[in-house]
Amino acid sequence: MKTPKAAGLTRREIYEAQQRRRSVLVASTSTVLAVVALVVLVPLTPGWDKVKRSFFNADVLVDTFPKLLDAFLINVMIFAWCAPAIAVLGLLIALARDAKSPALFPLRIFGATFTDVFRGVPVILTVYLIGFGIPGLGLPRPWNSPYIWGSLALILTYSAYVAEIFRSGIDSVHHSQRSAALSLGLSERQVMRDVVLPQAVRNVVPAQMNMLIALQKDVSLLSFIGPVEIFRQAGVFKSLTANFTPYVGAAIIFLAVTIPATRYADYLMAKQMKERR
């Protein structure tokens, strides 16, 4: 029996079109209501005028924004040298934790201790301890720079997390891949390098993207031990202008970087889910 058709559509298509129209209508109505509520209700609060002046001052924003951007370059710089170091150290720690040969047992212990310690201590505490502690040894310039030791603190902390992600990636490669590679006569080391690692690294790219985004934000923690990066610079402007708008400016700059990066990570994650299905 044929389904009745109208304008060349099946009855299912007509039904789905109706459903679509209805959900668009509902979604736009509720969005408009939410925005109206915000725009109307928030300015009715007693402190709104003060908050508006001290957080959303257009003049202050225009004055400080270019300098904030300059300061952000320092964040980018620190990020740029930390990220590759973290990738390498994280991978080495992950491999050390999976080392099988008895001679490498100390390495395994070291890897386990490393991840336990640096995942267990708040980042800011590591930054303080290393950033103030090591230059306190009285090292000559430039070896007392907070840039070096602050970066090291970030590298150590993030390597611990990145190592665990790499390890989960190594575990995610099916053991039959190992069997196949071993059956061809490859050594354990060759199996790891040529067969397991390439697949493991690919599997964890989205997860590592999220670590990169977190790192980009945590670079600001170095401001506590000296470097005048964007957060510190915003603080300076806050004192100068007696206004909080520079912090909002800094937040805008962070979001301009992290939102596209987060979207891209989500896209990679969704793509991977689709490929696995």
Partner 1 sequence: MAKLDLRGVVKRFGDNTVCDGIDLQVDTGDMVCLIGASGAGKSTLLRCINLLEPIEDGAIYLDGEDISVPGLDPQGVRARIGMVFQSYNLFPHMTALENAMLAPRRVLGRSRDDLRPEVEALFTRFGLADRMQNYPDQLSGGQQQRVAIVRALAMRPEVMLFDEITSALDPQLVGEVLDVLLMLKAEGMTMLLATHEMGFARQAADKVCFLKDGKIVEEGPPETLFGSPKHPDTQAFLARALK
Find the part of the chain contacting partner 1 (CB under 8 A) among 42-50, 159-167, 184-192, 220-228. 184-192
Rule CB under 8 A: say whether 14 interacts with partner 1.
Answer: no
Does 268 bind partner 1 (CB under 8 A)? Our answer is no
Q: Of the candidates 104, 182, 213, 236, which one interacts with partner 1 according to CB under 8 A?
A: 182
**What is the per-residue binding string for partner 1 in 200-219, x denoting contact by CB under 8 A?**
--x-----------------
Total site size for partner 1, rule CB under 8 A: 17
179 is a contact residue toward partner 1 (CB under 8 A):
yes
Measured distance CA(255)–CA(50) in Å, rounded: 25
Asked if residue 102 binds partner 1 (CB under 8 A), the reply is no
Contact call for residue 181 and partner 1 (CB under 8 A): yes
Stretch that binds partner 1, among 47-55, 125-133, 191-199, 255-263 (CB under 8 A): 191-199
CA-based end-to-end distance of the chain:
35
Name the residue nearer to partner 1 (CB basis): 30 or 187. Answer: 187
By C-beta, is 173 or 230 nearer to partner 1? 173
- Nearest to partner 1 of 194, 266 (CB atom): 194
The residues that touch partner 1, with contacts defined as CB under 8 A, are: 176-177, 179-187, 190, 194-195, 198-199, 202
